[in-house]
Chain A
């Protein structure tokens, strides 16, 4: 029985979403209760799966859907990395949903149903061990995100949404082409099986695999918003409703996860992996540099936070490109922190704009904030965390990452990372002083922070001190994750064992030719 529980992160939001969409005439309170309960359930399930992934020195769990065994059927795969991403998604989602319950969800239709659908796509993408299934879950995530991004409507959102949708549709087309090339060359879609066959490739087939792999990286970089492909992000994230933008903080990490998975499992120790790493390294560094400039140039807090998301994407990609166990361990420690803080910043930006009337989140003198001590306090914590200053977890993550860089990589990574941190610090202190000090005297707006909003923000912000307090166990976990990722052979052996090879079309079936 218990082996079926690994499907829960997909089933809970799916059934929940269907219920929410079906009973969309129910009262707001009911739907909010259900949606929050679903998110709490997902946090619990993810925590349980995390315990499973840790138990027995990091065992892996495979689940053959419909009992069709790999490589013929689709498998779900739970290892330490999946478990980490699942708990991160669940925690972020709970914070966003709590915040949305304050009234943002009532500005359009079906907010909670779509939200759960997006969670289903995210959880599925983190669990699947099959390339085409990964595509399907990507699509589910994107479809829900299209609707959520334009939740509530308005000129700005529709304009940004149109770009976002068209760009991602083109990206999806490219994704299928990449999958087609890889399938044509290897004859399989199961990740572990593909890894086994890629390792044996030579000549023409190897060239095809390289082409397919690089195409795949282009697609994932588009989702992760890496340098030449990031121009959609600032506008989209700035226009999206706050709780949705907060959830979107994990969307870029979905691209990162896919790259990490493909890089460490399928193309491990092949020339392809080196080509990918080179591309990722330079575009990651360039992303940090340009996003740093963007942070300084932003004239609106939401745009500023969008560029901060980009800085973190660049940092994570550079870490991925380094590829050593230490670097992967460090970036996985940095990942939850940056995701949750960027999510929290979007929520705080919404709270600030609520109390500033027309000025919104633009960096101009505006009305005095009603609850400036509360908001200022939260803003300070988030700013310190996102800029990577001690004593919060951002500093630790960056320090670990810088330590992991060796030789000439240090010369590039250290100055860029530190300068980007400085840019973030300057921009955030400027934004803070404009919002909290440079205000008109006189009447204040009556909008107050409601309790669910406060709960959502604090839930996300709590990650910064907690990740420091439990830095030992968390970094131990991420280190073990990196070690697990460095041994793809274990996955392949566990999943496939000595399974037969079946080839259609161009070749005859092995059994017949014998």
Chain B
């Protein structure tokens, strides 16, 4: 399970960073979202990966750590709000700058990057 889990986190991070470095705002936002997923999964795994382990003492022999679950919840909420914000910001930037390029370039110059 550890190998599969790390593979998923790794692939998500790599895709996220690749998209983050693109020139248009839409891929950048998707990149941020993917990076957010990767980070949340990673954070979830920091308490150790257990199966059949409730986060309640007394329910199972080795209870799993409840803290990362709480942290992930916080991170998800913040990430969700931020994605919504950055989408609106990108739309605003599109109308103000007249281009969806992160540097506000248009046409050929924008495509080249």
Q: Are A170 and B96 in contact (CB under 8 A)?
A: no
Q: Which residues of the partner chain A approach B82 to less than 8 Å between Cβ atoms?
A: 143, 169, 172
Q: Are A183 and B75 in contact (CB under 8 A)?
A: no
Q: Are B57 and A509 in contact (CB under 8 A)?
A: yes
Please tell me the size bucket of the interface on B: 35 or more
Task: Decide yes or no whether B7 CB sits under 8 A from chain A.
Answer: no
Q: Are A158 and B97 in contact (CB under 8 A)?
A: yes
In the assembled complex, the Cα of A176 lies from the Cα of B38 at a distance in Å of 11
Q: Are A504 and B96 in contact (CB under 8 A)?
A: no
Which of A28-36, A160-168, A317-325, A331-339 sits within the interface?
A: A160-168
Q: Are A162 and B85 in contact (CB under 8 A)?
A: no
Q: Are B46 and A162 in contact (CB under 8 A)?
A: no
Chain A interface SS verdict (over half)? helix
The chain B residue with its CB closest to the CB of A174 is B39
Q: Which residues of the partner chain B approach A136 to less than 8 Å between Cβ atoms?
A: 74, 78
In the assembled complex, the Cα of A153 lies from the Cα of B97 at a distance in Å of 12
Task: Decide yes or no whether A508 CB sits under 8 A from chain B.
Answer: yes
In the assembled complex, the Cα of A439 lies from the Cα of B35 at a distance in Å of 52
Task: Decide yes or no whether A181 CB sits under 8 A from chain B.
Answer: yes
Q: Which residues of the partner chain B approach A158 to less than 8 Å between Cβ atoms?
A: 89, 92-93, 96-97
Partner of A155, one of B48, B90, B96: B96
Task: Decide yes or no whether A180 CB sits under 8 A from chain B.
Answer: yes
Q: Which residues of the partner chain B approach A497 to less than 8 Å between Cβ atoms?
A: none
Partner of B67, one of A146, A154, A172, A183: A183
Mark contacts of A178-190 with chain B using CB atoms, 8 A cut-off: 1 yes-contact digit, 0 otherwise.
0111011001010
A-B contact pairs, 25 of them (CB 8 A): A132-B74, A136-B74, A143-B81, A146-B85, A155-B97, A162-B90, A165-B86, A166-B20, A166-B32, A166-B86, A166-B102, A170-B32, A173-B35, A176-B42, A176-B71, A176-B75, A180-B68, A183-B46, A183-B47, A189-B67, A505-B47, A505-B50, A505-B62, A505-B63, A508-B61
The 6 closest A-B pairs by CB, nearest first: A505-B48, A504-B65, A184-B46, A180-B46, A180-B43, A158-B96
